[in-house]
Structure 1
């Protein structure tokens, strides 16, 4: 009977592992990068095996720029995520990346596609990871999370230059309804959700005193203050 129970536990473990690999390949890849043809290039950084020296340098440069941007904003780093970087589309699809340029996996890791090996995309995803690490069990709306990532990455697709008096690419009044709408990743780009979110967050930061406004917000959330009490945006 004991042997039967042990065999059953082993079988269930194997089945659970197989389900994890099939349903959540990104999580499985974080646990075992080498199982997904990724090799370590430096602590916490894994690049697709077979990448050229130039491609590995591109990864290093993008991550270095992202690290600098996050440290400059927060005054340091709270997160130490594992990075999975692909230099081919096949690699990224194997990790479950789909059509995205990059993906943040909670506060544990981030994945970068061949098109995501840039300072902007690396900073965007690292911004998500850093915020989640600092939030802990607290949370913010998805629009705020995405808008902050756009601001920290200084993404020119969704923001006017930092020297502009107003960084919004559209009227603030057009962006405000986003605060009461659900964030749908499938339609976010088509509905201008990213520039709207960036507009809202950049406006709030400018009015609240950036960057100290974010640590103040996080401290308030940790104390139980509702997000809507701290973050108020008016035209």
Structure 2
């Protein structure tokens, strides 16, 4: 009887935790975007409006080429979810962001994020997570480095960024970056 109870509890945990995560923590929806109203015509792109697929593919390809050439080689290009509608954007959360990255799993491009610099910015965060590990980057790398690098190296044309804190991060990164190998120097940042 005790074994049956333990197995029942284990099964509940195995099924309940992922279901709760998908229901209540919207960024986890990147793992199964088809359940939330987008189509995935390829392994790497999901979209809510197939008439915008070509534009999404171009943004993704341009960002991958740009980051590989100018920032560092990406080991595994993540899945991109492009939301053309507010309804789609709301299903994936992060309401104040134009786009956001989920570790090394995926990138969500919200309605206002369909610009080269936003897509590049999030792909740079993906690369940071590949190089440092998602948890290490989040917990131990300075925010000025992570955000400043993404704003600076993505070619974001906004000068200044309409957020003083983020502009400060970019300024600090640009002061720190001397043109040498970012990745080697960044390993020592805390």
Residues 61-109 of structure 1 show CA distances to partners (whole Å, capped at 9, x for unaligned) of 1111211210112352124222111111111111113121001112221
Q: Distance in 2 between matches of 1:12 and 1:198?
A: 43
**Please, what TM-score do these two structures have when normalized by structure 1?**
0.70
Provide the aligned length of Structure 1 versus Structure 2. 185
Check conservation: 1:69, 1:152, Cα contact below 8 A: no
Q: Mark the runs of 5 or more structure 1 residues left unpaired by the alignment.
A: 159-168, 170-187, 229-235
* Structure 2 residue 34 is matched with structure 1 residue 34: yes
Higher relative contact order (CA 8 A, sep 6+): 2
Question: What corresponds to 1:217 in structure 2?
Answer: 185
Q: Which of the residues 42, 62, 82 maps onto 2:59? A: 62
SS of 2:101 mapped into structure 1: strand
Whichever of the two has the greater Rg, that structure is 1
Are positions 1:120 and 2:92 aligned together? Answer: no
> Cα deviations across residues 116-158 of structure 1 (Å, max 9, x unaligned)?
1221110011111111211134642111111110112111113
Cα distance between partner residues in 1 of 2:87 and 2:79: 20
The residue that corresponds to 1:197 in the other structure is 169
- TM-score normalized with structure 2 length: 0.85
1:152 aligns with 2:120: no
Q: Is the 8 A contact 1:61 1:119 kept in 2?
A: no
Query: 3-state SS of the aligned residue for 2:40?
Result: strand
Instruction: Answer whether contact 2:100 2:109 (CA < 8 A) is retained.
Output: yes
